């Protein structure tokens, strides 16, 4: 469903003017007015505000503003959605406000005339992660209910405050942070809000394993909604005026171009007859013909499934492999032109395109999703903690910790070196004022997120990020088993068998004199447990100096923490290390860990097992990773170069066509589709 939503958003968006590059500056463009009107003559200041969170009290908004009874502000720019899902936008104020997001014609929240005592206003909106959406917020404080300003001056002015917040999917409400705001406006994005059935995740990455009735119903509903949206914005998207003399000819051309972009290759005369000309025949008006054509295109297997044929990919297949690999979406105009010119035939040509595409925000969104999966944090774990043991740890702290990890990952992955080893060895943690109080750092209470060197002799990159440690812990104690399983499976690529029987952890209160390490050792000492726990426990024990919320500790129950760990590799050689930094140094230099990351990254990007591209592909990628100084960005380029031109192997040849958003769907005849609910898709 991720690829479907992204593909439809970009398909519709390709008929709009491209938005400006994001750039490095963050925040919203702000205009301040000395009157309640948004009149350029009354404007007294323009600047970029990092966020919208103000409490002016009874004073004016600015020192040069001498009238605290009336003033106005307007913020323009864009908001970046980090995840896909429904967002709850929240504006808090005692005065008149209006908020637009994405659709700049209709306010999402309009409280220009307030009644009652409400000061908090909500509105939901479905957004696709990794995209930016135009945003405008207007605020005005004015003189109301009194005709004689002189009389009003005898009364104290009303207090005024304003905050712009949101509640992203599965997170607590918070002020929209600076790093999610842009001072430039973005073009409107069409986001399909249809609910799709979940994709299979059993092998570590999403893929489709069947074409179910639920899938067909969802794609049909999405096609109807998309066609309706395009029809509503037809003049804008097609560039054809409602009263144009040749409107019918131009709308036919628009539908043909829409279909070519959806199918990711040029049209033949037969396809044009089927998908463009026939839907207009007998239509009562041109708008109906357009909707019929678009619904037929969006329901077609040529849109919904990739690489319908077998054998060596043609240039347009290569373009699609690149775009879906890095963007989870359709090829852009540059890729399609390269395909048409025969410039996607060599490894060097593919590499140049991949290097260009890496800089796109859509690649960042996909890479972020991979690392959440790599760390097993993509399911938004419940971070409820014992409030007696960890006072102050609430939903807002949990949301801040997730943001902290996001900032850390982005800072390493998108740095100049993009060094995988830095993910494990950095001593940086991103903290704001609220987190600083909990983790013992001296920052102002309202301090924004910033990198802090936290316990440099103990902290070890992603392994000791508080959000990760808190996620793999119980409500009141650490969990060496959960932490050890994460390291063994995801960071070292080891296969672990499920436990022979369900068990309940030994409760700490029944063994008050034992440390967590001692309790885990006691519970897993039977021989039937040691097959896996002989590997899991020593890995998890190395992180025992960090408690259930990721704070450093030296003792537990009055006993010094034993953080000695060990690991026996596939070659049978044992390795010992002490504490998180010892474990991190081992993983940073481990060929097993390097190979595990490369394989998981390949599977996530390509949505295919790496072995489907030949027995030499993985060793070759491992060597490239080392040769490129373990650069994650360069490894993405290597993966695309290895997969985009790859011909199916004997194993791959048995695999059916790839479904948008996933892989391994049942093949469907290219220009037919079985009916859904008794109604043919082509007739809708």
Say how many C-beta atoms besides its own lie within 10 A of residue 37's C-beta.
13
Residue 203, pLDDT > 80, answer: no
The answer as to whether 542 is a domain residue is yes
Mean pLDDT of 383-412: 93
Give the contacts of 332 (CB within 8 A, at least 6 positions apart).
10, 14, 323
Residue 144, pLDDT > 60, answer: no
The answer as to whether 231 is a domain residue is no
Q: Which of 145, 121, 136, 122 is nearest to 70 (CA)?
A: 145
**Per-residue DSSP letter, 599:** H
Strand, coil or helix: what is 174?
strand
pLDDT at 489: 95
Report d(CA 418, CA 675) in Å as an integer. Answer: 48
Boundary residue ending a domain (589, 612, 638): 589
Per the CB < 8 A criterion, the answer to whether 486 and 467 are in contact is no
Same domain, 568 and 629: no
- pLDDT tens-digit profile of 568-591? 999 889 999 999 999 999 999 999
CA distances (Å), origin 324, targets 446, 536, 605: 41, 36, 8
Per the CB < 8 A criterion, the answer to whether 54 and 161 are in contact is yes
Residue given tokens 């850390």 in the structure block: 408
Residue 120, pLDDT > 90, answer: yes
Q: Picking from 303-307, 360-364, 621-625, which range would have the lowest pLDDT averaged per residue?
A: 303-307
The answer as to whether 645 is a domain residue is yes
How far, in whole angstroms, is CA 375 from its chain's centroid? Answer: 14
pLDDT at 287: 95
- pLDDT tens-digit profile of 56-65? 988 888 776 6
Mean pLDDT of 482-493: 96
Same domain, 633 and 487: no
Report d(CA 331, CA 23) in Å as an integer. Answer: 23
Mean pLDDT of 326-346: 96
Same domain, 385 and 344: no
pLDDT at 35: 85
Higher pLDDT, 185 or 65: 185
Report d(CA 61, CA 70) in Å as an integer. Answer: 9
pLDDT at 208: 58
Mean pLDDT of 491-515: 79
Kindly write down the DSSP assignment for every residue of 261-282, as one continuous string. HHHTSPPPHHHHIIIIIHHHTT
Give the contacts of 282 (CB within 8 A, at least 6 positions apart).
none
- pLDDT tens-digit profile of 255-281? 999 999 999 999 999 999 999 999 999
Per the CB < 8 A criterion, the answer to whether 640 and 610 are in contact is no
Same domain, 414 and 563: yes
Same domain, 583 and 651: no
Q: What CATH number did the domain enclosing 163 receive?
A: 3.90.182.10
User: What's the domain count of the chain?
Assistant: 3
Q: Torsion over CA of 497, 501, 505 and 511, rounded to 10 degrees?
A: -120
pLDDT at 666: 35
- What the block records as the tokens of 486 is 């994460």
Per the CB < 8 A criterion, the answer to whether 660 and 8 are in contact is no
CA distances (Å), origin 65, targets 70, 74, 96, 672: 10, 16, 19, 67
Same domain, 333 and 450: no
pLDDT at 672: 41
Strand 574-578 and strand 564-568: pairing? antiparallel
The answer as to whether 473 is a domain residue is yes
CA distances (Å), origin 328, targets 6, 203, 225: 6, 19, 21
What average pLDDT does the structure give for the chain?
88
Residue given tokens 């794609």 in the structure block: 219
Give the contacts of 276 (CB within 8 A, at least 6 positions apart).
252, 255, 256, 259, 293
Report d(CA 248, CA 289) in Å as an integer. Answer: 10
Q: Picking from 282-286, 311-315, 517-521, 617-621, which range would have the lowest pLDDT averaged per residue?
A: 311-315
pLDDT at 242: 92
pLDDT at 202: 65
pLDDT at 224: 96
Compute the residue count for the chain: 684
Buried b (16+ CB within 10 A) or exposed e, 364-395: bbbbbbbbbbbbbbbeebebebeeeebeebbe
Per the CB < 8 A criterion, the answer to whether 197 and 218 are in contact is yes
How far, in whole angstroms, is CA 14 from its chain's centroid? Answer: 21
pLDDT at 646: 79
Same domain, 585 and 645: no
Same domain, 619 and 531: no
Residue 650, pLDDT > 50, answer: no
Mean pLDDT of 369-396: 90
Per the CB < 8 A criterion, the answer to whether 299 and 220 are in contact is yes
Residue 93 phi, psi (nearest 5): -170, 155
pLDDT at 659: 61
Report d(CA 224, CA 249) in Å as an integer. Answer: 23
The answer as to whether 668 is a domain residue is no
HSE-CB for 665 with a 13 A CA cutoff: 24
Q: Which of 680, 679, 671, 661 is nearest to 211 (CA)?
A: 661
HSE-CB for 137 with a 13 A CA cutoff: 28
Per the CB < 8 A criterion, the answer to whether 515 and 559 are in contact is yes
Report d(CA 597, CA 612) in Å as an integer. Answer: 17
Same domain, 532 and 578: yes
Q: Picking from 299-313, 342-356, 511-525, which range would have the lowest pLDDT averaged per residue?
A: 299-313
Band (pLDDT 50/70/90 cuts) for residue 199 is confident
Print the domain residue range for 78. 17-182
The answer as to whether 355 is a domain residue is yes
The answer as to whether 251 is a domain residue is no
Handedness of CA 349, 351, 352, 358 (dihedral sign): positive
Residue 505, pLDDT > 80, answer: no
Strand 174-175 and strand 160-167: pairing? antiparallel
Same domain, 428 and 549: yes
pLDDT at 59: 84
Same domain, 574 and 608: no
The answer as to whether 437 is a domain residue is yes
Mean pLDDT of 399-426: 95
Mean pLDDT of 274-294: 95
Q: Which of 624, 626, 656, 652 is nearest to 639 (CA)?
A: 624
Same domain, 82 and 55: yes
């Amino acid at each position: 469903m991720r690829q479907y939503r992204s593909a439809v958003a970009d398909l519709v968006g390709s008929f709009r003017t491209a938005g400006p590059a994001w750039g490095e500056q963050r925040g919203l463009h702000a205009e301040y007015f000395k009157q309640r009107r948004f009149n350029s003559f009354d404007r007294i200041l323009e600047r970029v505000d990092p966020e919208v969170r103000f409490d002016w009290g009874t004073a004016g908004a600015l020192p040069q503003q001498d009238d605290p009874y009336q003033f106005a502000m307007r913020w323009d720019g864009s908001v970046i959605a980090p995840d896909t899902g429904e967002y709850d936008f929240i504006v808090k104020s005692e005065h008149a406000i209006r908020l637009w997001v994405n659709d700049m014609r209709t306010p999402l929240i309009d409280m220009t005339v307030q009644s009652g005592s409400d000061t908090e206003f909500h509105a939901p909106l479905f957004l696709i992660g990794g995209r930016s959406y135009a945003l405008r917020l207007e605020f005005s404080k004015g003189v109301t209910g009194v005709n004689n300003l002189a009389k009003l001056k005898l009364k104290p002015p009303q207090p005024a405050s304003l905050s712009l917040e949101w509640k992203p999917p599965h997170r607590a409400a918070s002020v929209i942070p600076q790093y999610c705001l842009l001072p430039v406006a973005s073009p409107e994005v069409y986001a399909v809000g249809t609910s799709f059935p979940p994709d299979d995740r059993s092998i570590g990455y999403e893929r489709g394993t069947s074409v179910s009735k639920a899938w067909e119903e969802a794609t049909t509903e999405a096609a109807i909604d998309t066609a309706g949206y395009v029809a509503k914005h037809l003049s804008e998207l097609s560039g054809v005026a409602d009263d144009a003399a040749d409107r019918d000819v131009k709308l036919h051309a628009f539908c043909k171009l829409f279909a070519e972009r959806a199918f990711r290759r040029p049209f033949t005369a037969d396809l044009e007859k089927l998908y463009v000309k026939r839907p207009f025949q007998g239509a009562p008006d041109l708008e109906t013909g357009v909707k019929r054509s678009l619904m037929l295109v969006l329901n077609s297997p040529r849109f919904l499934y990739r690489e319908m044929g077998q054998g060596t990919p043609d240039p347009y297949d290569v373009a699609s492999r690149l775009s879906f690999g890095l963007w989870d979406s359709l090829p852009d105009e540059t890729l399609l032109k390269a395909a048409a010119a025969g410039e996607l035939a060599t490894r060097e040509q593919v590499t140049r395109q991949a290097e260009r595409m890496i800089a796109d925000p859509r690649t960042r969104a996909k890479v972020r999703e991979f690392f959440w999966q790599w760390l097993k944090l993509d399911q938004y774990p419940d971070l409820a903690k014992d409030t007696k043991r960890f006072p102050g740890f609430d939903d807002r702290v949990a949301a801040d910790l997730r943001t902290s990890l996001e900032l850390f990952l982005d800072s390493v992955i998108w740095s100049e070196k993009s060094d995988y080893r830095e993910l494990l060895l950095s001593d940086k943690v991103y903290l704001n004022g609220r987190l600083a109080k909990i983790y013992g750092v001296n920052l102002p209470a309202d301090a924004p997120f910033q990198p802090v060197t936290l316990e440099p002799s103990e902290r070890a990159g992603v392994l000791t990020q508080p959000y990760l440690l808190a996620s793999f812990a119980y409500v009141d104690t650490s969990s060496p088993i959960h932490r050890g399983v994460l390291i063994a499976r995801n960071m070292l690529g080891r296969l672990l068998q499920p436990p022979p029987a369900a068990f309940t952890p030994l409760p700490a209160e029944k063994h008050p004199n034992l440390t967590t390490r001692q309790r885990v050792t006691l519970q897993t000492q039977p021989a039937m447990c040691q097959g896996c726990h002989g590997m899991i426990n020593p890995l998890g024990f190395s992180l025992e100096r960090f408690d259930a919320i990721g704070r450093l500790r030296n003792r537990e129950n009055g006993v010094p923490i034993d953080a000695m760990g060990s690991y026996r590799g596939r070659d049978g050689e044992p390795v010992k290390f002490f504490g998180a930094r010892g474990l991190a140094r081992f993983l940073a230099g481990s060929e097993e860990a390097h190979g595990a990351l490369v394989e998981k990254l390949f599977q996530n990007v390509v949505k295919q097992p790496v072995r489907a591209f030949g027995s030499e592909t993985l060793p070759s990628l491992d060597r490239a990773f080392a040769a490129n100084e373990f650069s994650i960005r360069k490894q993405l380029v290597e993966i695309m170069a290895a997969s985009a031109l790859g011909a199916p192997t004997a194993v791959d040849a048995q695999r059916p066509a790839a479904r948008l958003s996933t892989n391994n769907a049942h093949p469907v005849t290219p220009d037919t589709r079985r009916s859904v609910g008794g109604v043919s898709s082509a007739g809708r």
